[in-house]
């Protein structure tokens, strides 16, 4: 959310005087004089500041917070005072609750944040004036300005309060064709989404989307509101689908992602459309509908190719490889995963490349091609070492160790099957040193080793021929 630029504040006389005694305000008065006990302030002012009125004395005696409240009442802004006072009471209650929970609470009292008090005074009073004149759009704009101002993390509850006020006001505005109401639904959707109430957020985003259909409205940054509505709706649908997939409610997840895919096409944004296809393909994969998953993911790969989106293409290929692996088509899956590793490394996406290399190592290890498995696991391990990613390094080290053990087991098994003096000497040397065992110099490959060699030769031919355009070719 964009924060509006700060406006020059027009303060009442009392507030202007009170600002001068704040610790954060520049002043020529020595600090030692300003911190005198309250009982001596009257005498101090009488001696040092001849001719001050009682109001001016009060400005120096009272807190800035109290001064702001007094100004509101004196100027006739009773509704603004009521609203401000309720906010201040809640502010204090939340600070006290935070202090009880933790000794490390850091939120400053409002008395030490005069700029926030100034903004509250300025915009609340302007909104009250506009409300008296029944200028509802001006009321909305002033309350919205406050919501934007209180967008930092510690004041989000204040922002949420003003967004809710905006929503109430926007429903009364009819002169703009529903633009303010659409914006307000978008803001309310965001509040519910941040709070984890996804269904309520989806309702507001759907209303946001419906109100912006066929409109060319833009926000303050120049973005089309309909596109923002589509993006918000896709995001919340994806979060809802994730929850459904966790609960193994595959049909409902697919249904909502199909709806998201239609909305993405309406947004006329190819990247958005590709993203929707990607998540729909993963949902079909989770549901075990492999053929449909391949079709949808192939759409995503074509969109990524058209957009020259290498990372999107890498994601598409990785998802296709998972589908092929689930179908038992390991050869095809390996070809796609090799392309994924190549794409990710060329785009410096090393963590994702580690994941793809690990998937390749798992496939080779499962099929008994331990040399290849060790090579890819080592590649993954070396990358995590360079990145100093300790948890991932520990994980890849285990995979690498298992593959090396399998590789060693194959050699030891061959030596044992040979049962000759040379093989026995190799085994004894390995037992003494526990290092890498030397390969059998005599040609005694086992059946699995022969198959591995043939498989490696076929892979070289596949790499020379290239990756097929269609996953099923």
Domains of the chain: 263-348 (1.25.40.10), 360-473 (no CATH)
Q: Per-residue confidence of the chain (473 residues) as pLDDT tens digits?
A: 444 545 555 655 556 655 655 544 444 455 444 444 455 566 665 556 555 566 665 666 677 888 888 889 988 999 999 999 999 888 888 877 776 666 555 667 777 788 899 999 999 999 999 999 999 999 999 999 999 999 888 788 899 999 999 999 999 998 889 999 999 999 999 999 999 999 999 999 999 999 999 899 998 888 999 999 999 999 999 999 999 999 999 999 999 999 999 999 887 789 999 999 999 999 999 999 999 999 999 999 999 999 999 999 999 999 999 999 999 999 999 999 999 999 999 998 989 999 999 999 999 988 888 888 888 998 888 989 888 888 888 888 898 888 888 877 877 777 888 878 877 777 777 777 666 665 544 433 444 444 445 445 545 544 555 544 444 43
Can you give the pLDDT at residue 422?
Answer: 79
- Residue 14 gets the label, from left (phi > 0), alpha (psi -120 to 50) or beta, of alpha
Can you give the pLDDT at residue 51?
Answer: 58
Q: Which phi and psi (to 5°) does residue 224 adopt? A: -70, 135
Can you give the pLDDT at residue 34?
Answer: 46
Can you give the pLDDT at residue 144?
Answer: 95
Can you give the pLDDT at residue 430?
Answer: 73
Q: Which residue reads 């202007």 in tokens?
A: 16
Nearest to 105 by CA among 116, 94, 114: 94
The distance from CA 176 to its chain's CA centroid, rounded to whole angstroms, is 33
- The pTM of this model reads 0.74
* Angle at 90 (CA atoms; ends 86, 96), nearest 5 degrees: 150
On the CB side of 295, CA atoms within 13 Å amount to: 5
What would the DSSP string read from start to end of 262-294? Answer: HHHHHTT-HHHHHHHHHHHHHHHHHTT-HHHHH
Length of the chain counted residue by residue: 473
The rounded distance, in Å, linking the Cα atoms of 339 and 379 is 15
What distance, in Å, lies between the first and last C-alpha atoms of the chain?
A: 48
What is the sign of the dihedral through the CA atoms of 416, 417, 421 and 422? negative
Q: Which residues contact 39 (CB under 8 A, 6 or more apart)?
A: none
Exposed e or buried b for every residue in 388-422, given b needs 16+ CB within 10 A? Answer: ebeebbebbbebbebbbebbeebbbebbeebeeee
- Residue 242 gets the label, from left (phi > 0), alpha (psi -120 to 50) or beta, of alpha
Is residue 150 within 8 Å of residue 158, measured between CB atoms? yes
């Amino acid at each position: 959310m964009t924060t509006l630029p700060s406006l020059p504040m027009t303060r009442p006389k009392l507030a202007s005087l009170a600002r001068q005694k704040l610790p954060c305000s520049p002043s020529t008065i020595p600090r030692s004089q300003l911190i005198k006990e309250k009982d001596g302030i009257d005498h101090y002012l009488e001696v040092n500041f001849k001719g001050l009125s009682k109001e001016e004395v009060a400005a120096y005696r009272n807190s800035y917070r109290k001064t702001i409240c007094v100004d509101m009442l004196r100027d006739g802004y009773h509704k603004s005072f009521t609203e401000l006072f309720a906010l201040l009471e809640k502010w204090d209650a939340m600070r006290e609750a935070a202090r009880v929970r933790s000794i490390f609470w850091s939120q400053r009292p409002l008395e030490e944040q005069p700029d926030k008090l100034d903004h509250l005074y300025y915009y609340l009073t302007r909104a009250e004036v506009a409300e008296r004149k029944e200028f509802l759009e001006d009321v909305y704009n002033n309350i919205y300005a406050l919501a934007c101002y209180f967008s930092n993390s510690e004041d989000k509850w204040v922002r949420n309060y003003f967004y809710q006020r905006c929503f109430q006001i926007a429903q009364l505005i009819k002169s703009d064709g529903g633009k303010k109401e659409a914006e307000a639904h978008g803001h309310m959707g965001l509040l519910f989404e941040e709070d984890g109430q996804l269904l309520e957020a989806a309702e507001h985003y759907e209303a946001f989307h419906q109100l912006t259909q066929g409109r060319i409205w833009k926000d303050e940054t120049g973005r089309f509101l309909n596109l923002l509505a589509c993006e918000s709706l896709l995001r919340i649908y994806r979060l809802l689908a994730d929850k459904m997939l966790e609960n193994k409610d595959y049909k409902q997840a697919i249904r909502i992602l199909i709806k998201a895919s239609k909305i993405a096409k309406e947004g006329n944004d190819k990247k958005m459309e590709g993203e929707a296809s990607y998540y729909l393909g993963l949902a079909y994969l989770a549901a075990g509908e492999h053929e449909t998953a391949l079709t949808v993911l192939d759409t995503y790969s074509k969109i990524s190719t058209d957009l020259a989106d290498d990372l999107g293409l890498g994601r598409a290929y990785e998802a296709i490889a998972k589908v092929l692996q689930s179908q038992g088509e390991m050869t095809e899956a390996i070809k796609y995963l090799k392309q994924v590793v190549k794409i990710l490394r060329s785009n410096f996406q090393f963590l994702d490349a580690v994941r793809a290399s690990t998937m390749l190592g798992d496939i080779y290890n499962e099929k008994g091609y331990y040399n290849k498995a060790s090579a890819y696991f080592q590649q993954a391990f070396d990358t995590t070492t360079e990145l100093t990613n300790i948890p991932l390094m520990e994980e890849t080290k285990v995979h690498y160790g298992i593959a090396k053990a399998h590789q060693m087991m194959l050699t030891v098994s061959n030596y044992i099957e040979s049962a000759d003096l040379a093989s026995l000497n190799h085994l004894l040397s390995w037992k003494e040193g526990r290092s890498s065992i030397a390969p059998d110099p005599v040609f005694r490959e086992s059946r699995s080793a022969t198959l591995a060699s043939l498989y490696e030769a076929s892979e070289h031919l596949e790499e020379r021929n290239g990756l097929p355009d269609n996953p099923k070719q």
